Amino acid sequence: MKVTELLRNNFIIPNLKGTGKEEVINELIDLFKDDPRVKDFEKVKEAVLEREKIMSTGVGKGFAIPHGKTTYVDEMLGAFGKTTRPIDYQSLDNQPVHLVFLLVGKDNLVSTHIKLLSRISRMMNNDEFRNALLEAKTNEEILELFKKEEESYFDI
C-alpha cells in the first residue's frame, strides 16, 4: 500500500489552526468525523491520543506522525497538515513541528501499518521534500508533492 492511496485532497490541511500538539492531532482526526469507514469516531480519536501518551510521535526535523491502531475503522486512514507556527510537540530532537501526518491503522493490518509508518518516515527524511511541503500552499500542491516523492520508492 502506498501513502498516496490513503491521502486524498479532502484529508489535507495546508494551514493547521491548532497551536498545540493535541489541538493539531484533533484537527486532523476531525477530517474523518463523517467518514463511512469509521465505525466509532471517539474510539478512533482515543486510539491515536492514547498512543501519543506512550511516547511522542514527533520524530524530528519538524515532523510528527501521530498514529494508532483500532478495530473501529474498516481500512487504513491517512491525513496530512502543516503549519507556519511552530508547535511544541515534545519531539525526539526537541525541535518544534510544522508537518504532521496522521495514520490510523486497522488492528489486524499491523504489518501494513508498520510499513506505512516506515515509508512516511523515509519520505520525511528527505530535506528537499520537507522544504517543498513547507512551501506548498494548496491541498493539490501537497498531494502532488507526495505523489512525486513516492514515485522514487518501491512498492511495499
Phi-psi category of residue 37: left, alpha or beta, with phi > 0 → left and psi -120 to 50 → alpha: alpha
Q: Which residue in the list 67, 69, 82, 130 is annotated as catalytic?
A: 67
At 66 the three-state DSSP class reads coil
Distance (Å, whole) CA 80 – CA 100: 6
Name the nearest CA neighbour of 75 among 50, 118, 122, 107.
Answer: 107
Residues in the chain: 156
The H or E element that residue 86 is part of is strand 77-87
Q: Would strands 63-64 and 58-60 be described as parallel, antiparallel, or unpaired?
A: antiparallel
The strand pairing partners of 78, in sequence order, are 103
Active site residue 67: yes
Catalytic residues: 67
